[in-house]
Amino acid sequence: MASDQPTSPAAEWVERVGRHIAARRIQRGYRSAKAVDLKTRGAPIHVSDVTWRQFEKGSWRSKPTANTTAAVAAILGWQPDFIDRLLAGEQPTEVDERPPPAARSVRAELDDLAQAARSLAARAEGLARKAN
């Protein structure tokens, strides 16, 4: 007789957490674990592709740290305890819809570039007036 319960810790992790993480990763525009690694590199929060795959597959040698779990949750736009709550069998609501950290970082860079462009335009205008 088939059981509705997962048969191993890894299977339990995938059922309760891994599938949610993979679905949210795709929803957030990351096509693969490698994409998460590349897009978050240099951002305030970074998770390697190896760690990311472990979160999706439940392939741990030891339980992930609270900091790593919170980092994955932050990249996915979830509250820091969201993954722990999923593992506990809860169905928490997704209330934190912040953009991924990499997107915030790119947005900040674009703002800086726009400011620099305005500054250069003003300088060029001043030089043009002096030349006339």
* Whole-prediction pTM: 0.61
In tens, the pLDDT along 24-67 reads: 888 888 888 887 777 776 667 778 888 888 888 888 777 788 88
User: CA–CA distance from 7 to each of 2, 3, 13, 17, 131 (Å)?
Assistant: 11, 8, 10, 15, 80
User: CA–CA distance from 127 to each of 41, 82, 114, 119, 130 (Å)?
Assistant: 40, 55, 20, 12, 5
